[in-house]
Amino acid sequence: MRKISIIFPMAGLGSRFGYTFKPFLLATDETFIELAKKPFDRLIHYGFTPEYYFIVRESQEKDFNVSQRLHELFPNDIIHCLTIGNTNGPLQTLQAAIQKYNLSGESFVCDCDHAICIDPLIQNFNLLKTYDVLIPTWNITTNEYLNWGKVKLSDTGEILDFCEKETIDGYLKGLIGCYLFYNIKDLLNYSSANENISDVLKCMLLQNKPLKIISITKAEFFGTPSALEIYRFKRAQQYTLFIDIDGTLIHQTERTILPGAFDKINEWQSYGHRIILTTARRDEHMKEIIKILSNNYIYYDDIINNLPPGPRYVINDRKPYLPYYSMAQGIILDRNKGLLDITLHTDTPQIVKILEGASFAQVYLVENKKHKFIRKYISKSPELNMHVDILKRQCDDLKRLNFYKKDLCPTILNEYESPSEYYYDMEYLDEFHKLSEFSSDIIYRVLPFILDDLHENVYCYGKIITHDKRYEWLENYMNEKVLPKFPILTALDPIIQSFFEQKIIKLNDKHYKPIPEYLNKIMNYQKIFPELAPEFVCPIHGDLTLENILYHPKNGSYRLIDPSGSRYMDAIEMDTAKLFQSLICDYVSWMNKEDLITILSENEFIIDDMYLIDKYHMVKHIYSPIEYQKGLFYMSTYFIRMVPFMYHKSKQHALFVLLLATFHLDSINYNYKPL
């Protein structure tokens, strides 16, 4: 056996991964260094005895116990671990190892952030008699130039130059950090001022040293967060297929191969899928089975027999880097039908961006075959069942609103449900932005047109509430939606409790009554003049905030997103109340702010005066005085209902919405002369 050295310089700081020790990061179920080393295990089959050298910083050895861990990972290999101080780059790191171990002769120098098929290098090993270095290269596009070290080639393949991340003109190929040197000791002849191996190669080129590039066609890269994500996606596209034999591959009684078996299994195997055949057949019957499979050239990786004839469950964990991707599926075929009609979904959607979600759903901008769409996803569990139902209802509402008017909402592209998860996909609206992100001038110019559109196409499907039933509707709303919150709120915090007791609330040096007193006065008045009750019910959006209206500034179109919280027929005033959260109370300005309130005592507070202004003059071109009063009332009750959610965010937010509710309920009472 012929000795060969494999050197892994691992003293980098791992800045792209938060300055952790990159070789021990998990790519999937294996570490970077395990994946990087695995291709060299094949050297034994070529008659070599590999000896491994790992070079790390002293601080890395101390923090990560590198030497012991490497011996645990590779117990059957000859390995050495060298600790060094700080160096100015990979070349100086390598030179330290060469001097320490007096290394010479044929050697690989390989990074730990990729795994390449080294067969082309080994197959050209005899070229080391002619060339000093065999240099593996990878085909790259111009968009990738900034992420790669590169070699510049002539039209005939002659090496003209080397460079790192900078851009140079000409025909370029990417340098894979896995060089094969004829004599590794030659690196001691170059100044350590040369930081990278590519710098040395450039010097060697200027010295007319013979160098040879070798094209690599099989490799995996995981050295940056984005490359790691791509690697994981590719791994996820390789399935494990458990395929029954009798009645699925082989006819149950005739013992012939069923339609599609040969073609489908060959197709799946070509994608890199692992084929595991399963059967209830006992050991004594397996010779016949294997003979039939062999005679018909049916490929498989393994066979599991002696299984019970009953149902077979596949249980798998959901991968955190593929949170929306189903990791266990089942296909049930009629007996003896064969595999002909089975189509596996081999295209794994890639997350482009994680978006802000709600109701425990995760929202992703996803790309699939260069087509972008939005996926709203939720995993199922007993504690999330209610939120699964909310997400399903939201999908139905989007379809329903689009039925009332085409393109009122994004188009639903797909809906999927299994025992473990639910998601729906909808169109991605490029160049649309939340209406809340635009100036006030645009908001107040666009909003009347949107509301007119809703009145004409959605709110028109209504049922009138007769005058004698209006107070009953309002009373039911209070009893079902608002009053049941009081015991929950008072149990949250002593200061919150003070808003519901017979105490005076002092806000910015003005005195206000407890919330129940305002509500009781309003409800008593409504028995005689139910002016705050809706006149009719109809389909509504349910969460019509400025954040849930997308607007296209170039063509003036809009879309409504994320309908939620309404009954199938509800009051328009509920949509008004949600808009008032943005228009009157400037929801965006405080939702993610931390210091909202100065708490002087359990019933004395100070907030910014900007939130305590009557803003009717801003919306009077959209809403009448009575519509304005209704909007304030239902907005205030929304704020009361929101307190538990806000308290989960922070105590400041919970108190803030209670103060807003108190202020606006007071203003409604003050203006009762009459409405």
Residue carrying structure tokens 């296909």 = 331
Q: What is the pLDDT of residues 137-188, one digit of tens each?
A: 999 888 888 888 899 999 888 999 988 877 777 889 999 999 999 999 999 9
Percent of the chain, pLDDT > 70? Answer: 97
The CATH number of 2-224, from 3.90.550.10, 3.40.50.300, 3.20.20.70, 2.160.20.10, is 3.90.550.10
Nearest CA-CA partner of 63 in 11, 131, 99: 11
Percent of the chain, pLDDT > 90? Answer: 60
End-to-end, the C-alpha distance of the chain in Å comes to: 98
Question: What CA–CA distance (Å, rounded) separates 650 from 601?
Answer: 18
Say which CATH topology domain 237-344 has: Rossmann fold (3.40.50)
The pair of three-digit structure tokens given for residue 475, joined into one six-digit string? 């009373």
Whether the Cβ atoms of residue 194 and residue 95 lie closer than 8 Å to each other: no
Q: CB neighbours of 536 closer than 8 A, spacing ≥ 6?
A: 462, 463, 464, 465, 572
The pair of three-digit structure tokens given for residue 148, joined into one six-digit string? 């790669």
Residue 75 has pLDDT above 70, yes or no: yes
Confidence of residue 534 (pLDDT cuts 50, 70, 90): very high
In degrees and rounded to multiples of 5, residue 173 shows phi and psi of: -125, 150
Confidence of residue 346 (pLDDT cuts 50, 70, 90): low
The pair of three-digit structure tokens given for residue 580, joined into one six-digit string? 């008032």
The CATH number of 437-670, from 3.30.2390, 3.30.70, 3.90.1200, 3.30.230, is 3.90.1200
Distances (CA, A) of 151 to 124, 147, 217, 328, 424: 19, 13, 16, 44, 46
Residue 368 has pLDDT above 50, yes or no: yes
pLDDT, residue 673, reads 46
pLDDT, residue 214, reads 93
Question: What CA–CA distance (Å, rounded) separates 92 from 97?
Answer: 9
Mean pLDDT of all residues in 296-319? 87
Residue 553 has pLDDT above 60, yes or no: yes
Average pLDDT, the chain: 89
Question: What CA–CA distance (Å, rounded) separates 255 from 139?
Answer: 48
pLDDT, residue 328, reads 80
pLDDT, residue 672, reads 46
Buried b (16+ CB within 10 A) or exposed e, 241-277: bbbbbbbbbbbeeeeebbebbbebbeebeeeebebeb
Residue 284 has pLDDT above 80, yes or no: yes
Residue 345 has pLDDT above 80, yes or no: no
Report which secondary-structure segment, H or E, holds 606. Answer: strand 604-606
- Lowest average pLDDT, out of 4-13, 188-197, 602-611, 656-665, goes to 188-197
Confidence of residue 77 (pLDDT cuts 50, 70, 90): very high
Whether the Cβ atoms of residue 619 and residue 628 lie closer than 8 Å to each other: yes
Whether the Cβ atoms of residue 550 and residue 561 lie closer than 8 Å to each other: yes
pLDDT, residue 307, reads 93
Confidence of residue 91 (pLDDT cuts 50, 70, 90): confident
Report which secondary-structure segment, H or E, holds 181. Answer: strand 178-181
Question: What CA–CA distance (Å, rounded) separates 116 from 40?
Answer: 9
Question: What CA–CA distance (Å, rounded) separates 512 from 494?
Answer: 18
Q: DSSP readout, 524-548? A: HHHHH--TTS-SEEE---S---GGG
Question: What CA–CA distance (Å, rounded) separates 517 from 502?
Answer: 8
HSE-CB for 417 with a 13 A CA cutoff: 7
Confidence of residue 324 (pLDDT cuts 50, 70, 90): low
Distances (CA, A) of 582 to 367, 417, 650: 32, 34, 20
In degrees and rounded to multiples of 5, residue 576 shows phi and psi of: -60, -45
CA 272 to chain centre: 25
Mean pLDDT of all residues in 553-559? 95
The pair of three-digit structure tokens given for residue 175, joined into one six-digit string? 């340098």
Nearest CA-CA partner of 601 in 487, 504, 515, 518: 504
pLDDT, residue 477, reads 95
Nearest CA-CA partner of 84 in 62, 54, 57: 57
pLDDT, residue 354, reads 80
Q: In 284-439, which residue ranges form alpha helices assigned H by DSSP? A: 286-295, 385-404
Report which secondary-structure segment, H or E, holds 81. Answer: strand 78-84
Q: What is the pLDDT of residues 463-498, one digit of tens each?
A: 999 999 999 999 999 999 999 999 999 999 999 998
How is the chain split into domains, by residue range? 2-224, 237-344, 350-427, 437-670
Q: CB neighbours of 128 closer than 8 A, spacing ≥ 6?
A: 106, 134, 180, 182
**What angle is formed at CA 363 by the lines to CA 359 and CA 369, rounded to 5 degrees?**
155
Mean pLDDT of all residues in 65-71? 95
Neighbours of 71 (CB within 10 A): 12
Q: Which CATH class is domain 350-427?
A: alpha beta
